Amino acid sequence: GACGIYRYGLATADQTGNGYALALDAGARLVNLEFIQFIPGLTHPVKKMLFQEKNLDSIPSVTNRHGKEILNDYLPANISVAECLTERAKHGPFSNVTCSRYFDIAMYEEWRKGNVLDSGGIHMQYDASILSDTRWFITSWLEWMNAKHIDVVNDGFDMICHAQGFNGGIYIDRQCATGVRGLFAAGETAGGPHGADRLGGAAIAATQVFGAIAGKEAARWASDRSLCVMKTDEVAHRVLKQLDSKQGGIVSVAESIQEIQTIMWENGAIVRSAQRCDEGLKKIAEIEKRFNVTAHLQLKRQMKRAVDLRSAIETAKVLLTVMRHRKESRGPHYRIDYPEQDPALAGMIAVRKKETELSFEVIRW
Tens of pLDDT, residues 190-245 = 998 888 987 777 778 888 899 999 999 999 999 988 887 777 777 777 777 778 78
Q: Looking at 114, 149, 164, which one is the last position of a domain?
A: 164
CA-to-CA distance for 153 and 20, rounded, in angstroms? 43
Give the pLDDT of residue 24: 96
Considering the domain architecture, whether residues 110 and 139 belong to the same structural domain is answered as yes
Give the pLDDT of residue 99: 98
CA-to-CA distance for 38 and 95, rounded, in angstroms? 9
CATH number for the domain that contains residue 351? 3.50.50.60
Considering the domain architecture, whether residues 197 and 301 belong to the same structural domain is answered as yes
Residue 218 CB neighbour total at 10 angstroms: 18
Give the pLDDT of residue 307: 93
Q: Looking at 111, 129, 164, which one is the last position of a domain?
A: 164
69 pLDDT above the threshold of 90? yes
Residue 58 CB neighbour total at 10 angstroms: 17
Considering the domain architecture, whether residues 186 and 290 belong to the same structural domain is answered as yes
- CA triplet 303, 309, 313: central angle to 5 degrees? 150
Mean pLDDT over 59-82 rounds to 98
HSE on the CB side for 285, CA within 13 Å? 9
Q: What is the identity of the amino acid at 148? A: K
CATH number for the domain that contains residue 118? 3.90.700
CA-to-CA distance for 354 and 50, rounded, in angstroms? 39
Domain count, the chain: 2
When the pLDDT of each residue in the chain is averaged and rounded to a whole number, the result is: 94
Considering the domain architecture, whether residues 132 and 200 belong to the same structural domain is answered as no
User: Terminal CA-to-CA distance of the chain, rounded, Å?
Assistant: 23
Considering the domain architecture, whether residues 17 and 70 belong to the same structural domain is answered as no
Considering the domain architecture, whether residues 132 and 186 belong to the same structural domain is answered as no
Q: Looking at 141, 164, 187, which one is the last position of a domain?
A: 164
User: Taking a C-beta distance cutoff of 8 angstroms, is the pair 181, 28 a contact?
Assistant: no
Lowest mean pLDDT among 27-36, 217-226, 237-246, 260-269: 237-246
Give the pLDDT of residue 206: 83
Mean pLDDT over 78-103 rounds to 97
Q: Which domain, by its residues, includes 120?
A: 39-164
Considering the domain architecture, whether residues 237 and 250 belong to the same structural domain is answered as yes
Considering the domain architecture, whether residues 177 and 312 belong to the same structural domain is answered as yes
pLDDT tier for residue 355 given thresholds of 50, 70 and 90: confident
Give the pLDDT of residue 244: 79
Show the DSSP H helices in the chain as ranges: 18-26, 81-88, 101-112, 136-147, 204-208, 210-223, 232-243, 253-267, 274-290, 303-325
Give the pLDDT of residue 78: 97
Mean pLDDT over 327-332 rounds to 97
Considering the domain architecture, whether residues 100 and 142 belong to the same structural domain is answered as yes
Give the pLDDT of residue 149: 97
Closest CA to 81 of 100, 67, 94: 100
Considering the domain architecture, whether residues 171 and 149 belong to the same structural domain is answered as no
130 pLDDT above the threshold of 90? yes
Considering the domain architecture, whether residues 200 and 127 belong to the same structural domain is answered as no
Considering the domain architecture, whether residues 184 and 331 belong to the same structural domain is answered as yes
